[in-house]
Structure 1
Amino acid sequence: MVSVLVTGSNGQLGLTFQDLTLDFPQLSFDFKPADALDITQRKQIVEVFEKGKYDFCINCAAFTNVEAAESNAEEAFKVNAEAVKDLAQISKQHGVVLIHVSTDYVFDGEKKDAYTVEDNPNPINEYGKSKLAGEKLIQEWHSEHYIVRTSWLYSKRHGHNFYKTILKKALVGEELRVTNAQKGRPTNTEALAHFILNEIVMGNKPFGTYHFADGDPMTWHAFAEQILEENGLIETAKLVLDTNYRTLAKRPKNSVLR
């Protein structure tokens, strides 16, 4: 039986892993939501690892609010970098393989083609900078790791995300103002969770950095159209192309992952 610790298990990806437990009877999961394991508290991490005998730790805990990170960079770095360093160090001490979920926002978006793992990161916002800092700390402190960069993550069942927001607003007749200024690949949490469990936990991939995204390259506006069509709402929804979309955080124009 392979033992897997999942941190941040109350987020959309963590909850998706919980949905899949029956599909992987050969794996023993220990799900730790934020109130059971605050990864910014090193003492808590030490206590959890001393009590459990894990083979893998999947880190789903993260500061993911891109806008909030601009005005609260210290907190973003605390969660996405400093805490990740502690996870890496303690995982190494206990012989636990660390699987860390990262982001397409480590890139600046200036490349015309899709980004590969060989491309040099150059984040343009505080969220991306904090996630890249976390990646570097893992690489520095724990050789037995997997960094999995993903993009535009959404769950149809859990959490707050673009998919559910579009659907909720469309169902009550709200106007949907969506930009086409950014291009990426929407990724379903179920596809990402299956990739991590099948290809990494149960697979034999070399340690290192990987990209995973399961959707076709598209803009946010095109993704909104896809969501509406999928749910039979394209004819009735009030979808408007917003050409004056403004955010506090700079966003990469192209963050398509290969």
Structure 2
Amino acid sequence: MRILVLGREGQLAQSLAERAAEFPDLQLAFTSRSDVDLSSSGSAARFIVAAKPDLVINAAAYTAVDRAEEEPALAFRTNGEGAGEAAAAARQVGAAIIHVSTDYVFDGASSSPYDEEAEPNPLNVYGRSKLAGEEAVRAANPHHLILRTAWVYSPFGRNFVKTMVRAAQDRDELSVVSDQHGCPTNALDLAAALLRISRDCEGFGETYHLAGSGSASWSDLASEVMANCKRTGLPAAKIRPITAAEWPTKAVRPASTILDCGKIERTLDIRLPDWRESVAATVERLAAQILA
């Protein structure tokens, strides 16, 4: 199977490239932004139609949550219209598309985890643009699979776990929000699941939630990172829990977007590892790089 991955520079695409060695029957090709720029009308269609893949994985997105408040047109163009154009081009060449979305399509007001039937109600431009992308993909290509995930981190790119590790090298104490909750997700775990779905051609025409098992606040996640920093010989800062009100941001963030991932476990037998286990593996890898 020939798979075209959009967004080579992102941490999910880099994770897909690494995990691909475990799936030798899959042929992955990756596009850079110079190849496919979802913010530019027609860019995705031209490349996908020329490449004629069997499957497109859209791992490209505008992910700057706060900056999106100042650049709504760009966020919607990239995450909404661009995603729809990629899905339509995939359909044109007879290909399916896997589109990666986010827990931020929800408002965080629920006291229970969000399943796929929950009504989206995003609070910020980023979340609204990603919801627009979901709707555009569904409308453009019936052979789609929409995968909502959350709080993605990895040894690659820019993400919360790497930020905490770096910050602890310079500061003894870090203030981290404690009243926002979600499901930390290792991009390498997510990538392995995506490649298994691709190989088995399962689950298309549906929306699924897939994130690290368990849940945490940002300060819980930061504390776990610091515990693993200490264990692996890296500097470890003290974590001071604060409220979101004490750390104002341009974009309003939902208080709790814990995802119920039961559907994908029941139907496709996919469950990601506990988030603590995956954080430990990530910090170990970062420590090996830093201390080498």
Residue of structure 2 equivalent to 1:18 = 17
Q: How does 1:204-223 map to 2 (within 5 A)?
A: 204-223=202-221
**The structure with more helix, counted as a fraction of residues:** 2
Q: Can you list the C-alpha shifts for 1:72-130, whole angstroms capped at 9, x where unaligned?
A: 11110010001111111111111110100000000000000100001110111110000
Residue of structure 2 equivalent to 1:245 = 247
Q: How does 1:41-190 map to 2 (within 5 A)?
A: 41-155=40-154, 157-190=155-188
Structure 1 range deviating more: 43-52 or 162-171: 43-52
Partner AA of 2:250 in structure 1: L
Residue of structure 1 equivalent to 2:258 = 256
Contact 1:56–1:201 (8 Å) recurs in 2: no
User: Unaligned regions of 5+ residues in structure 2, if any?
Assistant: 261-292
Residue correspondences, number: 256
The answer to whether 1:227 aligns with 2:234 is no
Q: Distance in 2 between matches of 1:168 and 1:158?
A: 13
Contact 1:169–1:175 (8 Å) recurs in 2: no
Partner AA of 2:72 in structure 1: A
Structure 1 range deviating more: 195-204 or 162-171: 195-204
Structure 1 range deviating more: 141-150 or 165-174: 165-174
Q: Give TM-score, length-normalised by structure 2.
A: 0.84
Contact 2:9–2:32 (8 Å) recurs in 1: yes
Measured on the aligned residues, the alpha-carbon RMSD in Å equals: 1.6
Identity in percent: 36
Q: Distance in 2 between matches of 1:245 and 1:63?
A: 23
Shift of 1:203: 4.3
Q: Distance in 2 between matches of 1:35 and 1:91?
A: 19
Corresponding residue SS for 1:196: helix
Corresponding residue SS for 1:139: helix
Structure 1 range deviating more: 200-209 or 222-231: 200-209
Q: Can you list the C-alpha shifts for 1:137-184, whole angstroms capped at 9, x where unaligned?
A: 1111211000000000011x2011000000111123353110112000
Quick one: structure 1 residues 236 and 147, their matched pair in 2 at CA, closer, same or farther if it must change by over 3 Å?
closer
Structure 1 range deviating more: 50-59 or 216-225: 50-59
Detail structure 1 runs of 4+ shifted over 4 Å in the superposition.
233-236
Q: Give TM-score, length-normalised by structure 1.
A: 0.94
Contact 1:143–1:207 (8 Å) recurs in 2: yes
Shift of 1:205: 2.0
